[in-house]
Structure 1
Amino acid sequence: MAILVVLLVLLLTELGVSQTNDNDTNLLIGMFCGRNAVTSLPNFIKNRKTTLDEIRMQLLSKRIRFARSQALIAGDPVFATAQCRNYLSVDQCVTCFDVAVSKLINCTAANGYISYDNCFIRYEDFNEYYNDPYFLTDGSGLQYLSCGNQSSSQPTTFNQVVDIVLSNIRDATPKTFNFYVASTRQVISENATVYATAQCIENINQPICQTCMNSAYDKLNDCLPSTQGRFSDMACFARYSETPFFNDNQTIDITNVIKGHSSKLVAIVAAAIGGVALFILILVLWLLYRLRLRKKSKKTEQGPTDLNGAVHYSYKDLKLATNNFSKENVLGKGGFGEVFKAILDDKNIVAVKRIQVRHGGAKEEFENEVKLISNIHHRNLLRLLGWSSEGSHLLLVLEYMPNGSLDRFLWGAQRRTLNWNQRYEIIFGIARGLAHLHHEFHVKIVHRDIKSSNILLSDDLTPKIADFGLARFQPEDRSHVSTGFAGTLGYTAPEYVLHGILSDKVDTYSFGVVILEIISGRRSTEVRSFRSSNACWLLEDAWEMYENTKHISVIEETLNLNEYEREHVMKIIEIALLCTLSQASDRPAMSEVVSMLQEGRSLGKRQLTRPTFLRNEDRRIHIQAIQNQRT
């Protein structure tokens, strides 16, 4: 029995299957149009529109997933609440909200409710339900259950796995700070994964959340052995599915909240199996375990084992996958080499970066880069999939980004196709990626070359910071390190260009410049047509406009912004200028920038001061001086 438990634990932790995220689906779970009558239909419709418009603005401006509002003008009061799932982007949240509103406005009662996979909206003519969702005046309770029409091929084991997942999220959700949990668990017999999430309304108390989660657990168990189920109540939402609907890196670690449940599946399976069945299962698991050991041993012979899942490829395989590194497959070129589109195993599209060997220490630097990237996992940082090092052939296998780099959308083939909300999400995503490098990783990492061409966009325009070839570790006990210049002029902080002083605030400066590029659609080195060629680049231009309270002119003319959006962009421009202050110590840390962007905070008591501007001639002189010092 002990052997069975050990083998099960090993397989539970190692046998994982990567699947495509399916959180774009948005099934209507239920809708309710109440019985409370309105006094004046025109007044009611006006008040309801006011509250829903205000909620939408809150979702966009505060970048939140829960909002409420009220309108009391001329009688027929409306109190409204809306909430989106926490695994959604703001764009997805607002899209779901708009779809829900388009259906809910057909209801002419004084109270109504609609629930989707991705969000819900509720409005009433009383506000007591804000803190007690079960407070009703028309006697109607709202509870919806939706089960899938496909059953599991191994119902006994599947039911046990789902029961564990549901019991875990039932117990954990009321104990989390935001009443939200997303979790996964392997189903070994089906080589599948169960994805589950639960969420209570943010403004209720823990007992109400627990009551709702108890109902969700009981009801969703009625769906089994269906491969998916959805539950929606006045106070909470819960869902499980074999099809992923949130990303793997969005799961919530509930091990500290739920104790004693992690081995429950093992105990159930071990207790349920006996005699011949037990012997056969042990034999099968032993064979699988031996096979995995053999594969692991083979990988050990190929290369280092401390690369967190990065696969070692042969140069021959990558040469074949890129069609002999043909020009037709070139995705881009940089100071450290070329990037090629490649197809592995006849189906998987990846990007292969070929590193140019320029000196004897190139291989060592390459291996450092591999170790660096393989340990970084964040949705806004480009993921390393594999590597190859044979002689002078140094290659990285990276995620393929179908939308290419950000600069294509700012002044390239896709110019002027991004609306403001998309631009903001890109700004916010870059900030989160940098904050992870600077503050959330076990060592502080300075990228050194943040620019628009090093920001890649996924198929849903999620930004991912790429090209860690210039990244450097910064010792925790030092505010900066002195190093030779490497980076891109127009994005680089003055203290780094002039004196080689490198700190995380160098990335902050570059990020501020990228913000201005995203907002203006101009290159950092572009000079306005009415200025002389020796005048000023984008940053200086933006600062002069800010000094004259005309920084609204920085915004790209083709962006069709409403009044709120213009105010929002003005705040972001101020944050960009704050990031580019002359003194590195005056610039905010990227963790603070994330908070400012997320909360829509202004500069507060901070005062912006004129940045240091380097003229073209100065840049050439200082760069030449640094190069002379290094030779």
Structure 2
Amino acid sequence: MAKKTPSSIASLRISSWISTMVVAVFIMMSKHVASQSGDRNNALLRKYCRIYTSTNGESYLTNINITLSSLRRQLSDPQVYYAFEQTTYDGEFVYAFALCRDYLTTSQCLACFDSAVNETKSCGISDGGNVIYDDCSIRSEIYDVCNNDSTSQPIATFSQTVDNLLSEVRDATPKTSNFYVASTRQASTNNTTVYAIAQCVRNVSQAICKSCLNTAYNNLQRCFPSTEGSSVDFYCFMRYSETPFFQSNQTTNIALFLSEGSSNKSALIAGVSSAVGLVLVILALWLWYHKMKKAKILEEAASALQSDEIYSYQQLRLATHAFGEEYRVGKGGFGEVFKAIIDDGNVVAVKRLHLGYARARSEFENEVRLISNVHHRNLVRQLGWCIEGSELLLVLEYIPQGSLDNFLWGSKRGTLNWNKRFDIIYGVARGLAHLHNEFHVKIIHRDIKVNNILMDDDFQPKICDFGLARLQPEDQTHVSTRLAGTLGYIAPEYATTGHLSEKVDTYSFGIVILEIISSRRCTDEHFNGQDTSHLLEHAWQLYERGMHMELIDEALEIEEEEHKVNVMKTIEIALMCTQSPTSLRPLMSEVVLMLSSGLSLGPRKLIKPSFIDSRRMIHIGAIGSHNM
């Protein structure tokens, strides 16, 4: 380590003093912002500050204030619920967006925005933050898009090469199935290759992807002739560089996704001049027709992701062969699931619901319209529905691998190694976090269990039946009648008092983690002769003795020390999720962070979990002294 000189120490002290003063000024500036959002029940759901600080506090303050002021002006217009702004000042690039729920008035939207700004400013000179309320959310980040190295090539030639490549990448990406393109371009001199990628969030529409990449492309214009530049937004990312950052065999053939060029037109004109050319024209037209037909099919398939279709009962009855037993692939608390083929060969799942009470019809329609807007990789996609008389049916994407329980204690047991199990745990966490925090209406599942987790062909989990528990009558949500949940997974406070929050799902998720790791059912009893009533108590006893690894399914045979540490940390996260009171449980967004980083959120103490066993007896844990 280099020895610090007196001058460098003095510089550090001055820098520290300036940073402290900037933070103080920043907090003082925030005091004038309204901290109340009216009389509405507008709870703060999530807040985080980025761990990095701006290298130039004064410039950052100027930048972020300009950006936030612009957002507020945009939201001041009636019927404007989404605002985006980006500013560049003194070499720093800041982008931010604000989103209000559409049910708010303009004044309510602005009040919530002001509260969110107040929360964000408490981050000091952290280079970004995210605040989510029930009524609104804002996000801001600082990002330096260009490096300081200029290309060794002629500036005009290099800039034109990069511009042509980025424009083609921008145009092709929204047309791909995965919203991702990687491509290269050879410069005309010095044999230099330029590398570029673009990627959009997969669950946005093609129009949003295109708009976002247009902004990214425009931002990168300012980088020329820098050898590298990146542009990041909430929905997309674009980057170019003279230095390779992906393999040559990982490129995309973007010519397939770009519009017809002038060379094709020239070929058609030349072909008309001869009889052979006429044949070629006919052939070209035939190929063009089928290409357009295929593009239309792809477009219709993509649009199906954005809006549901209303089917007739007769359509679904014929598609399932009158709901024949041989087409039934599942049965649960809400009804039966059938495999069906509709719309010229598309394989789907049809869930025939059994909701026998008077308000079911109207509540069903409201609920399915709500969940039809939910799109996430780890959530089963709803494709349509049917309401005719007493028949209530959902049309869902078909997941051929079936539910997770089949992989843990069914015919496919033994096929999941630790990496796959961890990916399943992480995917379920992401799906729940999306339901709780990243959608305009908070959706609490209420019945998270391995049977409601389906597995696709890539072993990615997909949560099903979210939103359906809300359709159960209110008088059937107490333990004395019928739970909107499953014993063994259900949180104690919900079982005894009917108190519902997103932490109910957190508890159930903790139980699911233990089942995935151990391949034991949560209601199993008598582990290795121990006097335990179920899996959660057994896991706690092993944790108390520091014997986490004995919980692991013997079929896993984990040898690597890194994997052992990961398993132990995941078990501790599961136990944290089952804590009572609910304030001790993390939010699912926090769980995602812990799983992705391998870290716990601070020095939290674990206490013995509370649980309800198969005899519906509540067992309350006592405070312990064990640290994460």
Q: TM-score, normalised by structure 2?
A: 0.53
Q: Deviations over 1:11-48 (max 9, x none)?
A: xxxxxxxxxxxxxxxxxxxxxxxxxxxxxxxxxxxxxx
- Higher RCO structure, 1 or 2 (CA under 8 Å, sep 6+): 1
Of 227, 234, 243, 1:211 maps to: 227
Verify the 8 A CA contact 1:482 1:500 in the aligned structure 2. Answer: no
Q: CA deviation at 1:482?
A: 12
Q: Deviations over 1:539-577 (max 9, x none)?
A: 000000000111111110110212211111000000000
The corresponding residue for 1:331 is: 329
Q: CA deviation at 1:612?
A: 1.2
Partners of 1:208 and 1:430 in 2: how far apart? 42
The corresponding residue for 2:429 is: 431
Report the RMSD for the aligned CA atoms in angstroms.
4.6
Of 566, 569, 579, 2:567 maps to: 569
Partners of 1:496 and 1:344 in 2: how far apart? 40
Partners of 2:441 and 2:413 in 1: how far apart? 37
Q: Deviations over 1:442-487 (max 9, x none)?
A: 12111100000000111111111101254449xxxxxxx9954310
Q: CA deviation at 1:614?
A: 2.8
Partners of 1:347 and 1:547 in 2: how far apart? 55
Verify the 8 A CA contact 1:352 1:398 in the aligned structure 2. Answer: yes
**Counterpart residue identity of residue 583, structure 1:** P
Q: CA deviation at 1:235?
A: 4.0
Q: Secondary structure at the match of 1:341?
A: strand
Partners of 2:562 and 2:427 in 1: how far apart? 21
Q: Deviations over 1:371-417 (max 9, x none)?
A: 12201111111100111111111110001101110111011111111
Partners of 1:209 and 1:502 in 2: how far apart? 56
Q: CA deviation at 1:213?
A: 6.7
Partners of 1:579 and 1:397 in 2: how far apart? 33
**Counterpart residue identity of residue 537, structure 2:** E
Distance 1:540 1:529, change over 3 A: closer
Partners of 1:339 and 1:522 in 2: how far apart? 26
Q: CA deviation at 1:207?
A: 5.8
Q: CA deviation at 1:431?
A: 0.4
Verify the 8 A CA contact 1:449 1:470 in the aligned structure 2. Answer: no
**Counterpart residue identity of residue 411, structure 2:** A
Q: CA deviation at 1:161?
A: 8.2
The corresponding residue for 2:590 is: 592
Q: Secondary structure at the match of 2:321?
A: coil
Verify the 8 A CA contact 1:447 1:507 in the aligned structure 2. Answer: yes
The reply to whether residue 181 of structure 1 matches residue 193 of structure 2 is no
Partners of 1:184 and 1:605 in 2: how far apart? 34
Verify the 8 A CA contact 2:311 2:385 in the aligned structure 1. Answer: yes
Of 356, 359, 363, 1:358 maps to: 356
The corresponding residue for 1:165 is: 171
Verify the 8 A CA contact 2:612 2:618 in the aligned structure 1. Answer: no
The corresponding residue for 1:535 is: 532
Q: Counterparts of 1:264-413 in structure 2 under 5 Å?
A: 308-413=306-411
Q: CA deviation at 1:347?
A: 1.8
**Counterpart residue identity of residue 605, structure 2:** Q
Verify the 8 A CA contact 1:431 1:593 in the aligned structure 2. Answer: yes
**Counterpart residue identity of residue 182, structure 1:** Q
Partners of 2:225 and 2:581 in 1: how far apart? 48
Q: Counterparts of 1:448-487 in structure 2 under 5 Å?
A: 448-472=446-470, 484=478, 485-487=483-485
Verify the 8 A CA contact 2:539 2:551 in the aligned structure 1. Answer: yes
The corresponding residue for 2:243 is: 234
**Counterpart residue identity of residue 543, structure 1:** W
Distance 1:307 1:323, change over 3 A: same
Q: Secondary structure at the match of 1:464?
A: strand
Verify the 8 A CA contact 2:514 2:536 in the aligned structure 1. Answer: yes
Verify the 8 A CA contact 2:491 2:611 in the aligned structure 1. Answer: no
Q: CA deviation at 1:602?
A: 3.3
Q: Secondary structure at the match of 2:331?
A: strand
The reply to whether residue 555 of structure 1 matches residue 548 of structure 2 is no
Verify the 8 A CA contact 1:513 1:576 in the aligned structure 2. Answer: yes
Partners of 2:305 and 2:563 in 1: how far apart? 44
Verify the 8 A CA contact 1:376 1:441 in the aligned structure 2. Answer: yes
Verify the 8 A CA contact 1:212 1:235 in the aligned structure 2. Answer: no
Verify the 8 A CA contact 1:208 1:235 in the aligned structure 2. Answer: no
Distance 1:560 1:364, change over 3 A: same
**Counterpart residue identity of residue 494, structure 2:** Y
Partners of 1:403 and 1:242 in 2: how far apart? 33
Partners of 1:167 and 1:525 in 2: how far apart? 48
Distance 1:343 1:545, change over 3 A: same
Partners of 1:509 and 1:489 in 2: how far apart? 12
Verify the 8 A CA contact 2:542 2:550 in the aligned structure 1. Answer: yes
Unaligned runs of 5+ in 2: 1-146, 152-163, 175-179, 185-195, 203-208, 215-221, 231-239, 263-291, 620-628
Q: Deviations over 1:460-515 (max 9, x none)?
A: 11111101254449xxxxxxx99543100000110001111110000000000000
Identity of aligned residues (%): 52
Q: Deviations over 1:79-119 (max 9, x none)?
A: xxxxxxxxxxxxxxxxxxxxxxxxxxxxxxxxxxxxxxxxx
Q: Secondary structure at the match of 1:404?
A: coil
Partners of 1:447 and 1:602 in 2: how far apart? 25
Partners of 1:323 and 1:407 in 2: how far apart? 27
